[in-house]
């Protein structure tokens, strides 16, 4: 009887002692996984409440080569009668094979001093490749093109804008050249207007008043001869006085004007070769006679022909003159 009591007492003491010892373990959510899969390794410690545990440092080296993706904080699962804490570590494997996690050390502290080191049992995880069905033939699908993006169209848009700008510039250049090449209307100034303008300018220069008598009369005869060329088409600048009068025969030149023309040209010749200086009245008369000659021989137009071409205009009365001077 006493023997049974002794055995029971020994077993009780052993259980209490076992309950007070610190225990550490490492387990995995799965013992087999495929390449690239993830799993959680759970580290757990069971210890007396008056003790503290320092978990081991987790690296690929002390986790058998597994890649550490995330380390969670230590969580308390139970506080009485003993304290149970746990820490989860997310790992992954990118190569097939056997990964053995060695025994990990858990340091136990009592009253701030390290008391002992408790180790977990080793753990082995198998990582395998995906099984390939060699009898399965996948359907051949056409090549799928990548969708277009806005950035791919930017070079084409820039090229289009450049071509439009170039076309606009070429159009403006061509248009400006066409405008430059447009023939300007030829404005024919009547012969009598040219002569009157030059006689007026000559009078304003006052050459004979400055003693330039020969130059003055030479200019008068030059203007008259030029007028004859423009008005009647004779080469009066190259002809003598008599040759000029002969050339005017057959032209639209009234015989009554020949005397006045001869007077103008001969007067200038006399002044050029005269030894004495003529008076002022001679110079003034030369200008007056030249103006009168131009006025009396200038070309006229028939308004009746113009009225026939313009029927909307009011027809002139029978008493109106059909002959009018051209422009001025």
Is the residue at 39 inside a domain? yes
Mean pLDDT of the region 229-248: 84
- Looking at the fold, whether 108 and 210 belong to one and the same domain comes out as no
Is the residue at 175 inside a domain? no
Distance between CA atoms of 62 and 50, rounded to whole angstroms? 29
Residue found by looking up tokens 């308004």 in the block: 303
- Looking at the fold, whether 195 and 307 belong to one and the same domain comes out as yes
Distance between CA atoms of 105 and 103, rounded to whole angstroms? 7
- Looking at the fold, whether 220 and 117 belong to one and the same domain comes out as no
Retrieve residue 277's tokens.
């200086």
Asked if 224 contacts 261 with a C-beta cutoff of 8 angstroms, the reply is yes
Mean pLDDT of the region 306-320: 42
pTM higher than the cut 0.75: no
**Is the preceding peptide bond at 153 cis, omega within 30 degrees of 0?**
no
C-alpha dihedral over 31, 35, 40, 45, to 10 degrees? 50
Is the residue at 57 inside a domain? yes
Q: Which residue has the higher pLDDT, 258 or 229?
A: 229
Quick one: pLDDT at residue 275? Answer: 61
- Looking at the fold, whether 114 and 197 belong to one and the same domain comes out as no
Is the residue at 285 inside a domain? yes
Domain count, the chain: 2
Asked if 247 contacts 239 with a C-beta cutoff of 8 angstroms, the reply is yes
Mean pLDDT of the region 249-265: 76
Last residue of a domain, one of 108, 128, 148: 128
Residue found by looking up tokens 């009018």 in the block: 324
- Looking at the fold, whether 196 and 308 belong to one and the same domain comes out as yes
Distance between CA atoms of 247 and 259, rounded to whole angstroms? 15
Asked if 236 contacts 247 with a C-beta cutoff of 8 angstroms, the reply is yes
Quick one: pLDDT at residue 5? Answer: 62
Is the residue at 146 inside a domain? no
Asked if 268 contacts 221 with a C-beta cutoff of 8 angstroms, the reply is yes
Mean pLDDT of the region 156-162: 91
Q: Which residue has the higher pLDDT, 242 or 85?
A: 85
Q: Give residue 50's domain range.
A: 20-128
Is the residue at 158 inside a domain? no
- Looking at the fold, whether 211 and 122 belong to one and the same domain comes out as no
Of 121, 119, 71, 106, nearest in space to 91 by CA: 71
Is the residue at 221 inside a domain? yes
3: confidence class by pLDDT, cuts 50, 70, 90: low
Last residue of a domain, one of 76, 106, 128: 128
Q: Which residue has the higher pLDDT, 90 or 141?
A: 90
Quick one: pLDDT at residue 214? Answer: 85
Distance between CA atoms of 248 and 234, rounded to whole angstroms? 7
Distance between CA atoms of 21 and 283, rounded to whole angstroms? 153
Of 58, 55, 101, nearest in space to 74 by CA: 55
Residue found by looking up tokens 């009598």 in the block: 192
3-state secondary structure of 52: strand
Distance between CA atoms of 245 and 208, rounded to whole angstroms? 28
- What are the residues whose beta carbons fall under 8 Å from the beta carbon of 87, sequence distance 6 or more? 42, 43, 44, 55, 71, 72, 73, 74, 75
- Looking at the fold, whether 212 and 122 belong to one and the same domain comes out as no
136: confidence class by pLDDT, cuts 50, 70, 90: low
Distance between CA atoms of 231 and 293, rounded to whole angstroms? 12
The helices-and-strands tally (H runs, E runs) of the chain is 8, 13
- Looking at the fold, whether 308 and 209 belong to one and the same domain comes out as yes
Is the residue at 206 inside a domain? yes
Lowest mean pLDDT among 1-10, 183-192, 195-204, 314-323: 314-323
């Amino acid at each position: 009887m006493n023997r049974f009591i002794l055995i029971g007492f020994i077993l009780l003491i052993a259980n209490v002692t076992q309950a007070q010892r610190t225990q550490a373990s490492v387990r995995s959510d799965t013992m087999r996984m495929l390449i690239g899969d993830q799993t959680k390794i759970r580290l757990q410690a069971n210890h007396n409440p008056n003790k503290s545990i320092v978990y081991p440092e987790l690296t690929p080296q002390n986790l058998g080569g597994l890649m550490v993706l995330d380390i969670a904080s230590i969580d308390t699962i139970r506080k009485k009668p003993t304290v149970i804490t746990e820490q989860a570590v997310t790992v992954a494997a990118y190569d097939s094979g056997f990964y053995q996690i060695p025994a990990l050390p858990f340091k136990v502290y009592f009253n701030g001093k390290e008391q002992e080191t408790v180790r977990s049992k080793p753990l082995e995880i198998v990582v395998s490749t995906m099984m390939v069905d060699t009898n399965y033939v996948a359907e051949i699908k056409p090549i799928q093109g990548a969708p277009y993006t806005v950035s791919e169209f930017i070079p084409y848009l820039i090229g289009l804008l450049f071509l439009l700008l170039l076309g606009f510039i070429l159009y403006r250049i061509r248009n400006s050249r066409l405008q430059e090449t447009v023939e300007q209307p030829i404005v024919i100034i009547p012969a009598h207007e040219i002569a009157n303008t030059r006689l007026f300018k000559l009078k304003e220069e006052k050459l004979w008043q400055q003693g330039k008598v020969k130059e003055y009369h030479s200019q008068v005869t030059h203007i008259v001869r030029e007028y004859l060329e423009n008005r009647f088409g004779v080469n009066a600048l190259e002809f003598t006085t008599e040759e000029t009068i002969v050339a005017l025969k057959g032209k639209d030149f009234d015989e009554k004007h020949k005397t006045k023309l001869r007077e103008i040209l001969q007067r200038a010749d006399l002044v050029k070769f005269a030894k004495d200086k003529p008076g002022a009245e001679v110079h003034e008369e030369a200008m007056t006679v030249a103006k009168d000659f131009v006025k009396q021989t200038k070309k006229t137009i028939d308004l009746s022909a113009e009225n026939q071409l313009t029927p909307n205009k009011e027809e002139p009365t029978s008493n109106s003159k059909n002959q009018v001077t051209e422009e001025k």
